[in-house]
Amino acid sequence: MIDLHALTFTFPNQPAALFEAFDWRVERGEFWSVIGASGCGKSTLLHLIVGVRAASAGTITVNGESVPRKKNRGKTGLVLQEYGLLPWATVRENVELGLRIRGFYGQNDRRRQTADGRPHPERSLERSVAESKDTAVGGRQSAVEFWLERFGVASLANKYPAQISGGQRQRVAIARTLVLEPDVLLMDEPFSALDAPTREDLEQLTLDLQNETGTTTVFVTHNIEEAVFLGRKILVLGAPPHHSPPRVVENAGAGRAAYRDEAAFAEQTRRLREILKGE
C-alpha cells in the first residue's frame, strides 16, 4: 500500500509548488497508470515515493513504513526509461548488481543482522554475493538465472549492453529490479523509446508478472493507449499544483490481452483524451 497524505513538494529556488496538500492512496496489489502533460509531476511523484526526493511537507508511507528523507526504502523497485545499465558489465552482472550492493551492506537476510538492525561486521561482499547466487528459485535456479530466463535474455548473459537491443536492455533493467523481490514496483516511462511491437510485448510481460506476483505497481506514461491497457486505475495529473482531489479514472477492463480490440478500450482512450484536454 502507498499512502500520501497532505504531500507538498517544491523544487529549490522555485516559487510555486509542484504538489500542494496532495492525498493519494494505492491499495496493496493494485496496478495504477499515471498520466499527464509534461512537467505535471509524474516522475517526481515516483521519486518521492521511492525516497530519492524529499517532500517539503506531508507524509509518505509504503506498506506501513514511513519513507525517509532522501533515502531509498529498499523494498521499492524503480525502473527508469534510460535503463541505467553499467556499460562495462555483462547482462548477468547488471542483473546481479542490486544483490551485490545489498550483500555489501549485509541486507540479504534480516536474520543475519544484529538486534538493532546493523549488519554483522564479519559479512563481506564476497560472502554476500555467494549467498545471493545460492538463493533457490524454482527449485534449482538462482534468482539471477531465474529472471534471466523469465525475461528471455539468458542467452545474452555474457553480452554487454551495447551489444543488445533497446528492448533487451529494458528487459535486463526490469530483471535487475525484480531479482530484489520488491513489494512495490514503480516504472517511469520504461517503454517510451521502443518500437511498437517491442513495446506491446513488454507491456504484456509487465501485466503477466504483476498477475503472477501481485506486486503493487505504479506505471508512469505519456501514452494514452498504454495507460488504458495497463492501469486498472488511472491517476490523471493536471496543471500543478492543483492535483487535489486526485482525478482517478476506473478502468476495469485493463490487464487483458484482448482489451485493445474491444470497443470499451476505444471508448476509454477517447474519454481519457478528453479529460487530458480539459486538464
- pLDDT, residue 103, reads 60
**What is this structure's pTM?**
0.84
Looking at the domain assignment, is residue 153 inside a domain?
A: yes
Looking at the domain assignment, is residue 149 inside a domain?
A: yes
User: Could you read off the pLDDT tens digit of each residue along the chain, which spans 279 residues?
Assistant: 999 999 999 988 877 889 999 999 999 999 999 999 988 999 999 999 998 898 999 999 998 888 866 556 668 999 988 878 999 999 999 999 878 776 654 544 443 333 334 333 333 333 433 444 444 333 334 889 999 999 999 999 999 999 999 999 999 999 999 988 899 999 999 998 899 999 999 999 999 999 988 999 999 999 999 999 999 999 999 888 778 788 999 999 998 989 999 999 999 999 999 999 876
Q: What is the CATH number of the domain that holds 98?
A: 3.40.50.300
Cell numbers standing for residue 3: 499512502
- pLDDT, residue 111, reads 34
Looking at the domain assignment, is residue 28 inside a domain?
A: no
Looking at the domain assignment, is residue 66 inside a domain?
A: no
Looking at the domain assignment, is residue 89 inside a domain?
A: yes
Structural domain of residue 111, as residue ranges? 76-181
- Burial of 89 by CB count in 10 Å (0-12 exposed, 13-18 middle, 19+ buried)? middle
Task: Give the DSSP H or E segment for 77.
Answer: strand 76-79
* Spatial distance between the Cα atoms of 92 and 99, rounded to a whole number of angstroms: 12
Looking at the domain assignment, is residue 40 inside a domain?
A: no
- pLDDT, residue 278, reads 78
- pLDDT, residue 121, reads 33
Number of domain units in the chain: 1
| 261: phi then psi, degrees, rounded to nearest 5 | -95, 0
* Spatial distance between the Cα atoms of 251 and 232, rounded to a whole number of angstroms: 5
- pLDDT, residue 70, reads 56
Looking at the domain assignment, is residue 169 inside a domain?
A: yes
* Spatial distance between the Cα atoms of 40 and 249, rounded to a whole number of angstroms: 17
Looking at the domain assignment, is residue 128 inside a domain?
A: yes
